[in-house]
Amino acid sequence: MEEARRGFLRVVSRIKNSVLLDKREVDEVIRELQRALLRADVDVRLVFEVSKKVRERFFSEKVPPGFSKREVLLKILYEELVKLLGGEEPYEFRVDKRPKVVMLVGIQGAGKTTTAAKLAAYLAKRGYRVGLVCADTYRPAAYQQLKQLSEKVGARFYGEPGSGDAVGIARRGVEELRRMGLDVIIVDTAGRHKEEKGLIEEMRKIASAVNPDETMLVIDSTIGKAAGKQAAAFHEAAPIGSIILTKMDGSAKGGGALSAVAATGARVAFIGVGEKVDDLKPFDAREYVSRLLGMPDLKGILQRFEKFEKIERERARAIAAGKLTLLDLRDQLRRVKSMGPLSSVLEALGGVSLPKGVAEQGEKNIEKWLVIMDSMTMEELLDPSIIDKSRVERIARGSGTSPRDVRELLAAYKRTKKLMRQLSKSRRKFAGLGF
Ligand SMILES: Nc1nc2c(ncn2[C@@H]2O[C@H](COP(=O)(O)OP(=O)(O)O)[C@@H](O)[C@H]2O)c(=O)[nH]1
Ligand SMILES: [Mg+2]
């Protein structure tokens, strides 16, 4: 397994094995996170920024009902890593000038030539006219390989078989394809040289000859952390604008992407997921981080958070519109327990005063009602109208109360809801008057 990924798995297992997630345990998780990020060659400053953010968020964010502290920490970790990799929005390759000249760099075997064809196919599918230039003079078969791929994906092609002048080919290729009025010109380069310095020097020369609008670094996702060094070397020759991670279809989790991103400050644009020309996908940081953290249940946790947040938004809307669920009432009652009298809380909620006796009775019954509501399902709390006789009996049994107690709660709920609705109506009526 890749080293970078192993580090993140340790972070996750430390979170999962924590008992209290108190200050001490969280600090241990944070240290593990820092180690994992450092091991992925993430810049020290960035490591501290990210880990500080995770820590601060964890201690300031509420644990929503039905969630554990562990789940909250995992979610924060996930979100901060996604941010580190460019955010939630999948990358969008822009063709913002014509022609846009793209140069692909990366070491031999990384998948440059395959990716050049994939990218051409991807763009052709979106209506762009694409040309490919073979500037790999090192590998004898490179010319044929790219020529055939060009035909396959319907791209124009430029190459000079037998020539050893990579810089000249690149210049002439871009010039010629430019005259054809193409939208995107992709320059494929060599990934090996007699010596590494020669390769980097060649990239520098090609870059200054064709003046690329975007230099894309192609990286084999299976190499792990070594991605960082490679990325840094190429970045020095030609500033890397974006990264393409290949071979993500295998078992590799591409932990090296973090290193490459950290070394260049560039975003990952695409991932290669197979050998065929259609096997290219825009990079999705969320999917990537889920994979990196290696948690089959992470998706489930995130979905639950999403669902919860959606419910929260809907409830806020519903309350504003004068609708009130038992879940809202329960939250208010919970707050009452720590804050003060029910009447004042409900007044704060809607500026309404309760019918005589309701507040007093409510306060007396708060404990009992909370217990009753704990025996209800989420479905029932959100839509109490479904609570029929048999549900009343089940809830009473579950909460150790009587069906009469349950009905009393439901009646109090209905009275409150009616008031809320009246209030909302009068609010709407007076809305124009500034109420
Ligand atoms: N499974 C898989 N193989 C890939 C992917 N991208 C490239 N390859 C394979 O990697 C090998 C090297 O690719 P090539 O494009 O010639 O690399 P280059 O030397 O950088 O030009 C070839 O066998 C490709 O089929 C990918 O996304 N998934
Ligand atoms: Mg090649």
Under a CB-based contact definition with an 8 Å cutoff, are residues 435 and 363 in contact?
Answer: no
Which atom of ligand 1 is the closest one to the Cα of 145? 16
- Residue 336 clears pLDDT 80, i.e. is over it: no
Structure confidence by residue, pLDDT tens digits, 67-110: 899 999 999 999 999 998 888 888 889 999 999 999 999 999 99
CB-ligand 1 contact for 422 (6 Å cutoff): no
> Is residue 173 a part of any domain in this protein?
yes
Give 218's strand partners. Answer: 244
Residues 171, 272 share a domain: yes
| Predicted pLDDT of residue 358 | 66
Ligand nearest the Cα atom of residue 107: 1
Q: What percent of the chain has pLDDT over 70?
A: 87
> Is residue 92 a part of any domain in this protein?
no
> Cα Rg for the chain, rounded, in angstroms?
30
- Residue 204 clears pLDDT 70, i.e. is over it: yes
Lowest mean pLDDT among 10-14, 142-146, 265-269, 291-295: 291-295
In the reported structure, the alpha carbon of residue 115 is separated from the centroid of ligand 2 by a whole-number distance in angstroms of 9
Burial (CB count <10 Å: 0-12, 13-18, 19+), residue 315: middle
Lowest mean pLDDT among 78-87, 90-99, 129-138, 318-327: 318-327
- Residue 340 clears pLDDT 60, i.e. is over it: no
Task: Indicate which CATH number applies to the domain containing 228.
Answer: 3.40.50.300
| Predicted pLDDT of residue 353 | 61
Give 188's strand partners. Answer: 104, 134
CB-ligand 1 contact for 254 (6 Å cutoff): no
CB-ligand 1 contact for 241 (6 Å cutoff): no
CB-ligand 1 contact for 144 (6 Å cutoff): no
β pairing state of 214-220 and 242-246: parallel
Q: Given the structure tokens 């809380």, which residue do they identify?
A: 345
Ligand nearest the Cα atom of residue 149: 1
Eight-class DSSP state of 194: S
- CB within 8 Å of 365: residues ≥ 6 apart: 408, 409, 412
Residues 365, 259 share a domain: no
Structure confidence by residue, pLDDT tens digits, 165-178: 999 999 999 999 99
Q: Determine the average pLDDT of the residues in 221-245.
A: 88
Residues 154, 240 share a domain: yes
Residues 178, 122 share a domain: yes
How many domains is the chain built from?
A: 3
| Predicted pLDDT of residue 151 | 95
CB-ligand 1 contact for 272 (6 Å cutoff): yes
Q: Which of 331, 383, 323 is nearest to 350 (CA)?
A: 323
| Predicted pLDDT of residue 389 | 95
Structure confidence by residue, pLDDT tens digits, 402-435: 999 999 999 988 888 887 777 767 655 554 443 3
> Is residue 290 a part of any domain in this protein?
no
Which atom of ligand 1 is the closest one to the Cα of 250? 1
Task: Indicate which CATH number applies to the domain containing 410.
Answer: 1.10.260.30
- Residue 314 clears pLDDT 90, i.e. is over it: no
> Is residue 353 a part of any domain in this protein?
yes
In the reported structure, the alpha carbon of residue 229 is separated from the centroid of ligand 2 by a whole-number distance in angstroms of 20
Measured torsion, CA atoms of residues 188, 191, 196, 198, in degrees rounded to the nearest 10: -40
| Predicted pLDDT of residue 435 | 34
Report the b/e string of 167-189 with b at 16+ CB within 10 A.
bbbbbbbbeebeeeebbbbbbbb
The Cα–Cα gap between 354 and 370 comes to 19
> Is residue 37 a part of any domain in this protein?
yes
Residues 164, 260 share a domain: yes
> Is residue 155 a part of any domain in this protein?
yes
Q: Is 242 helix (H, G, I), strand (E, B) or coil?
A: strand
Residues 270, 146 share a domain: yes
In the reported structure, the alpha carbon of residue 66 is separated from the centroid of ligand 2 by a whole-number distance in angstroms of 52
Q: Which residue has the higher pLDDT, 367 or 397?
A: 397
CB-ligand 1 contact for 7 (6 Å cutoff): no
Q: Determine the average pLDDT of the residues in 201-219.
A: 96
Residues 141, 81 share a domain: no
> Is residue 276 a part of any domain in this protein?
yes
| Predicted pLDDT of residue 298 | 81
The Cα–Cα gap between 307 and 232 comes to 41
In the reported structure, the alpha carbon of residue 162 is separated from the centroid of ligand 1 by a whole-number distance in angstroms of 23
Under a CB-based contact definition with an 8 Å cutoff, are residues 5 and 13 in contact?
Answer: no
> Is residue 311 a part of any domain in this protein?
no
In the reported structure, the alpha carbon of residue 139 is separated from the centroid of ligand 1 by a whole-number distance in angstroms of 14
Structure confidence by residue, pLDDT tens digits, 7-61: 888 998 899 888 889 999 999 999 999 998 887 777 788 889 899 999 999 999 9
Q: Determine the average pLDDT of the residues in 369-381.
A: 91
Task: Indicate which CATH number applies to the domain containing 26.
Answer: 1.20.120.140
Under a CB-based contact definition with an 8 Å cutoff, are residues 28 and 10 in contact?
Answer: no
Residues 251, 109 share a domain: yes
At position 193, the amino acid (one-letter code) is H
Residues 122, 56 share a domain: no
Which atom of ligand 1 is the closest one to the Cα of 274? 28
Residues 190, 80 share a domain: no
In the reported structure, the alpha carbon of residue 136 is separated from the centroid of ligand 2 by a whole-number distance in angstroms of 7
Residues 83, 204 share a domain: no
Q: Domain of residue 350: give its range.
A: 321-433
Q: How many CB atoms lie within 10 A of CB 119?
A: 28
Long-range contacts of 69-74 (CB under 8 A, 24+ apart): 69/21, 70/15, 70/16, 70/18, 70/21, 71/301, 71/304, 71/305, 73/15, 73/21, 73/26, 73/29, 74/12, 74/15, 74/293, 74/295, 74/298, 74/301
In the reported structure, the alpha carbon of residue 94 is separated from the centroid of ligand 2 by a whole-number distance in angstroms of 24
CB-ligand 1 contact for 112 (6 Å cutoff): yes
| Predicted pLDDT of residue 433 | 43
The Cα–Cα gap between 214 and 83 comes to 22
Which residue among 267, 300, 333 closes a domain? Answer: 300
| Predicted pLDDT of residue 434 | 36
Residues 113, 82 share a domain: no
Take residue 277 and report the two structure tokens written for it: 């020309």
